[in-house]
Structure 1
Amino acid sequence: NMLGYTADNLLQGKVQTIQWHEVDALLKADAFFLDIREEFELATGQLATSAWIPLNQLRQRLVELPKDQTIYVYCQVGQRGYNAARLLMSHGFDVRNLDGGYKTYKQAYYEVKTISLVTPITKTKTPVVAQVSGAPVIEIDACGLQCPGPILKVKQEVDRMEVGQRLAVQASDFGFSADIAAWCKNTGNTLLSSEIKDNKVIALLAKGQVDDNLMPSVPDIEEGVLKETKDGATMVVFSGDMDKVLASMIIASGAAAMGKQVTIFFTFWGLSALKKQKIKKGGMAKMFDLMLPKGAASMPISAMNMGGLGAKMMKYIMKEKNVDSLPVMIEKANELGVKFVACTMSMDIMGIEKSELYDFVEYGGVATYLGDSEASNLNLFI
């Protein structure tokens, strides 16, 4: 769809654009550049001297923009820049959108280097705290918060702590157990303990890294040497369409067969693929259950479904061509060691319970997925 919109824009001339190679000359000529990205995106870089107004604030801050000169708008990849340009044009501004956004401009100056195909061990000494601080343990209660709320609360508190100081946190989201382990591992902090007690996850962590004797669960750190071997594959399965989930299973199985550590994170509509049985529900959960597929075998296809007839035709052709059905592919992917993770926040929203899903499914939140993606060189959204 976006390719069609872009082509139509070029044919109709709805918004004038500039290319990445024109940016430097315009900057030297003191042209007015407007960055409309969100604040957290600025960490990836920004054009020198550009003004910054997030897109969601642009309509209320039009008075800050000059009408006597051309405004060169840019976002990360160009789509939001187009929306901003149309908005400004409707208010009488002369606007150009940076085609491909800041990302294209930045990549044009990316230095390509030849590296060894063998992933080296980085001999980087990691900061080690000799012992846990004697300061009082800070306690926070994240019960009732859904993913990524507990992790965000932990980060905010850890940012204020001293190195070596301990933090005790409890959360009602059972996926937090996996999330906090992944978060500590990828942020250089130490998870001292984690347990589930009285339907709550109770974790104790220390800011920074402590001695090996106090550090039971940081597997990638040995003798102060950080090993980095990005040879995994991660996928987010958001879709509830059989053909798309089928494609994810084919890719996952192929990657696992090649020796990659594969993680598939199922969220929202994609969770239907993990159902093994139907259970009795009530209220809103029952309404969701009536509208969602009962499992991988009853999922529709994304095009030409025709009330389920298209899906039946595809299954018939797959059988004729000796292609495994989706439930069989899921089972085989599990046998190959593919890790299936169900998003606990999505489960709560859609009224899906653990007893409905396959026994081999693990549970976690966004930090669990991001933790695995840090060790991956292949990331897909399906």
Structure 2
Amino acid sequence: MNNEKKKYHMNDADWVIENNEFLLDVREPVEYEAGHIKGAENISVNELENRLNEIPENRKIYVYCQRGRRGATAVSTLQSNGFDAVNLEEGYSVYTGQYDTASPTAANGHHDSAVLNRLISDDRIKVEASGMQCPGPLLKVNEVMSGLKTGEQMEITVTDTGFCTDIEAWAKKTGNTVLKNEMNNDKVIVVLEKNAMNTNIEGHKMTETKEGATMVVFSGDLDKALASFIIAAGAKSMGKEVTMFFTFWGLNVIKDPNAPKRNKKGLDKAFSMMMPKSASKLPISKMNMFGLGSKMIQHVMRNKKVDALTEMIEKADALGVKMIACTMSMDIMAVEKEELLPHVNFGGVGTYLGDAENSNLNLFI
């Protein structure tokens, strides 16, 4: 590989590892644990600004995420702080190299992808769930797996991209094994193996410390969005791990005002025209008065020196609040990934519930 090339692809990661270069995975820790490039360091893009001291200053930094967008954001952050950094385009979802480390939910937690592929049975049950929206695929997995014997396998194919992270959270919670979890031509293909439930082995009991906070942001009202981010920032400052799950009208809260215009047609175009373009355009739940009420409350907030919603979102991101966009709701509401803020993650109800299990504060706003 020519080290002077201007663009780098994800599969250049093998060259990076072989030449002992610095490879940085900027996905969330749960994504890193679900599968990563062996030898890559993990610092979430949400934590990068506060952990720059962990990045070597005299080396080129090769960055990757799941699909390339967060990697580009991380590279911008690194370059603005004086680092020589490049993004491995398209991200981990397209990686086909030899340094993949598979999900720790495998039997011994250390299988590489080649070993896992050899473990996949030809007799596995195959389920086609394309077109099924969240939480449908998870319900189907639960139904099929409950009927399997220990050691038996199933393969499920879905079109909901959020299922990639949903199934990892589900497998971790239920104690089953993910043998394969990959994107192939806009479809997610997952192979699972049924494990025996064993909770009585001394020294291997799981102890949960529920110190997190989760909230479903369903509303697209300015005042309710303000409340959700005030609570999120407060909980994070008190040491809680905070997850915000944006669904339906709540997706408008995390729209990127600088996103390029998308070419939509039919009902998708109609939906987009009727929806607010960003957090600064949200209506209020009471006394909106055709938008005048929203302008009034934002004016009062400025006079009272209260942060605007857009500033609260930026601060929450800087604090490390995890923001997840519901992929099923995105499909219904005709919201594309490119329309949302760059630091937003994508997932379904399984991803949210995985975090909710470790929370002692759960809100629906």
Partner of residue 99, structure 1 = none
Q: CA RMSD in A?
A: 2.5
Partner of residue 233, structure 2 = 253
- 5+ residue gaps, structure 1, are 1-127, 212-220
Cα distance in 2 between the residues matched to 1:138 and 1:259: 44
Asked whether the 8 Å contact 2:175–2:197 carries over to 1, the reply is no
Alignment TM-score, normalising by the size of structure 2: 0.63
The change in CA–CA distance for 1:135 and 1:283 in structure 2 (over 3 A counts) is: closer
Residue by residue over 1:61-104, the C-alpha shift from the partner in whole angstroms, topping out at 9 and shown as x without a partner, is xxxxxxxxxxxxxxxxxxxxxxxxxxxxxxxxxxxxxxxxxxxx
Cα distance in 2 between the residues matched to 1:366 and 1:348: 14
Partner of residue 140, structure 1 = 127
Equivalent residue runs for 1:249-328 within 5 Å: 249-276=229-256, 277=259, 278-328=261-311
Count of matched residue positions in the alignment of Structure 1 and Structure 2: 246
Which 4+ stretches in 1 moved above 3 angstroms?
A: 131-135
The change in CA–CA distance for 1:210 and 1:200 in structure 2 (over 3 A counts) is: farther
Q: What secondary structure is seen at the aligned counterpart in 2 of 1:225? A: coil
Greater Cα shift, 190-199 or 285-294: 190-199
AA in 1 matched with 2:244:
I
The change in CA–CA distance for 1:223 and 1:174 in structure 2 (over 3 A counts) is: farther
Cα distance in 2 between the residues matched to 1:142 and 1:182: 19
RCO higher in 1 or 2 (8 Å CA, sep ≥ 6)?
Answer: 2
Shift of 1:227: 2.7
Shift of 1:225: 3.0
Cα distance in 1 between the residues matched to 2:311 and 2:171: 36
Partner of residue 206, structure 1 = 193
* 2:214 counterpart (227, 234, 240): 234
Cα distance in 2 between the residues matched to 1:328 and 1:337: 14
AA in 2 matched with 1:147:
C
Cα distance in 1 between the residues matched to 2:131 and 2:214: 28
When Rg is computed on C-alpha atoms for both structures, the one with the higher figure is 1
Asked whether the 8 Å contact 2:159–2:187 carries over to 1, the reply is yes
Shift of 1:134: 6.6
Partner of residue 172, structure 2 = 185
Asked whether the 8 Å contact 2:151–2:194 carries over to 1, the reply is yes
Alignment TM-score, normalising by the size of structure 1: 0.61
Cα distance in 1 between the residues matched to 2:322 and 2:308: 19
Partner of residue 58, structure 1 = none
Partner of residue 143, structure 2 = 156
Residue by residue over 1:330-357, the C-alpha shift from the partner in whole angstroms, topping out at 9 and shown as x without a partner, is 1110111111111111111111111100
The change in CA–CA distance for 1:341 and 1:316 in structure 2 (over 3 A counts) is: same
**Counterpart check, 1:172 vs 2:159:** yes
Cα distance in 2 between the residues matched to 1:311 and 1:222: 58
Asked whether the 8 Å contact 2:120–2:179 carries over to 1, the reply is no
Residue by residue over 1:22-46, the C-alpha shift from the partner in whole angstroms, topping out at 9 and shown as x without a partner, is xxxxxxxxxxxxxxxxxxxxxxxxx
Partner of residue 41, structure 1 = none
Shift of 1:273: 0.6
Q: What secondary structure is seen at the aligned counterpart in 1 of 2:324? A: strand
Shift of 1:135: 8.0
Partner of residue 353, structure 1 = 336
